[in-house]
Structure 1
Amino acid sequence: MGKVTLIATATMGLEALVAQEVRDLGYENVQVDNGKVTYEADESAICRSNLWLRTADRVKLKVGEFKAFTFDELFEKTKKLPWADLIPENGEFPVIGRSVKSKLFSVSDCQAIVKKAVVESMKKRYKTDWFKEDGALYRIEVALHKDVATLTIDTTGTGLHKRGYRYLHSQAPLKETLAAAMIKLTNWHPDRPLADPFCGSGTLPIEAALIGQNIAPGFNREFVSEDWSWIGDDRWNKARQEVEDLANYDQPLQIFGSDIDHKMVELAKNNSMEAGLGDLIQYKQMQVKDFRTNLEYGCLVANPPYGERLGEREQVEQMYQDMGENFKRLDTWSFYVLTSHEGFENLYGKKATKKRKLYNGNIKTDYYQYWGPRPPKK
């Protein structure tokens, strides 16, 4: 195979973070577009990208891209792509699709045509008219945007936000990928304290601990491309060994999580144990207005309730006011708050140093950043 082109998909607003993560892995020719980051690499990048990317949703192998205004064009150009180089004779290759602002708007028809074209392409190589599809999974996607068709194969399987440590969660869980992004958008360093006073099932503190000890987010799970023969066990074993070699398990951390609900605190503790973080994170049942610490130059990162449910708004607005009053005493700390409430700054009592638009699922939110002073140089 040699060089491959990969696409790391991203939630809107996180593309620049994903691109930086890709560059940090040593890959070049990085292109950033809405919802995706495209880059060139060798086959081992499939393993390393899936294991290391904290803020991407999934990693796709790009097979081809071309303009397609008719179903005949879609069929013929898809058929010319090297499918048999990627999919073995017994490979399972379902086709999914989407279409935006394109003449070929019927997704079901596009899926059927791509499936037929792939079969015809593979017939030439394997000299057969029937494919059992009882082997490894190679999920193909045809994505049409402004009449340009992009054909990819998913290398990830279950989305990258599924780290493998959170079997149980709160009713409105924060995605692990967004939690990692929230941490990476702060000025936090592992030698400084970090607190989350709305910890829920522990996602933010756990993601912070993984970042703090340089533990790859995919260390505890499997990926669909591990079954692909042309990647092979050697590449995956080498990538997993790199994960182990680069982890800094000796890095001391001061990470705190608290929540008003004692059930959430217990859940967060269990999830931290499942992540292999043991007692690295300290949890406590507590209201946000009771948060106190003598530690200095820390980061407080929070995803509080937004007050979008009926009957919650007044309570939430009072809580935002309490936060503003309570946090005044932490004059060396930095604060980062994600909420969809447009009046947050007024309620909190202070204008943010910076705010950034992010999406929490389908909810449009702002990430309010209040930067504290830099700690003195040691």
Structure 2
Amino acid sequence: MQIEKLPRQINPRRQNQRRSVKPRRRTPAKSSRLKYGNILSLTAAAIAIAWIVTIPFRSHRVAEPPIVSQPPTISPLPVQGTSNPPSNQSDRTFSYNVKIPPNQIYSQELQVIVDELVNIATSKKLPTASLSITLIDVSNSNAHTFAGYQNQTPRFPASVAKLFWMAGFYGALEKGLIQKDESSFTSDLKQMIQVSNNDAASRILDTITDTESGGELSGQKLQTWLKKRQQINAFFQAAGYEGIKLTTKNYPIYYLGQEGPKGRELQLRSNSPKPIRNQVTTDQAARLLYEIYTRQAVSPLASRKMAYLLTRDLNPKAWKNDPSNSIKGFLGESLPTKIYFGSKVGYTSGSRQEAAFIRTLDDRAIYILVIFADDPAYARNETIFPQMSRHVFERLNARGPK
């Protein structure tokens, strides 16, 4: 319905002149002036309080995963491009791109620190036969140094295996072996690395190797399935990761309804009193972290994506109320909050593991620390990893680059 607009009525001016009246200025009352003053004071106070309260949120930013420069004495290693043409799906052969292990220098000074960690474990009456440690100092751009304890002994990595599956995924993706878009796996990658979700890891491992869990197989079907699953071992072994084993899944896996391996997954483990388990050395875990943070792993872009997935927030507000956090009882718990920290933990009722990259904001300390402790005593002890981590941090931070 349209509303008719009426013309504005204009009153005609009167002919007679009216005497002008000087307007009186109203003086605001004293109480009114006080009222406005109070409002201004309260407003200023509110702004100040808001500024103070939001300081932690304004100053806290997600750290950019750092890049570690390789020493000039190390020749650049071959790195694959950021993309590859689609591969023939009948040929799923692919291998990790960094074929030569890092040329790092053994350091007696670092060895003293590693030996001190072993002594800490001994003082806590924890078994050292099941303990492995690798420490790499990358704070000096001219030379990267290392030391270790039983660092070439293969051990059960628990969920640290997911670090390798992540690299395998990006290797298969850039080889063209994964037909789905990368975005289809964003959630599973985050869940696998940041939450250590076994369901997500199961799907990622199946995607890499073109396999899936299921009932028992026999004959050629079993052999074909085993060969496909073992591709993840070959991927790293071809690049000098000798003896590494990464074929078995972590349990429980809820979408499969399995508390442990069944069917062909049990056949993979040989179904014997001493089943085949994943095996990784602390040197191998440290090497992969090193290659990620020097932007060599798979490709510079893939390395950057992996570093983002590994990045952890050490602020207690970010993790204390999260029951699935990977900080409590591990290497990051005892460290300052304002540093860069990237890691992947492993934990079972019979073991505790972690591979971590640490960098202070002033670059006084930049290092990789990997600890595998394959014994129930370490699983029960929630203070040993934080204590060891703090010891290394204080020693290297006090010393500075060397």
The TM-score, its normalising length taken from structure 1, stands at 0.25
Higher helix share: 2
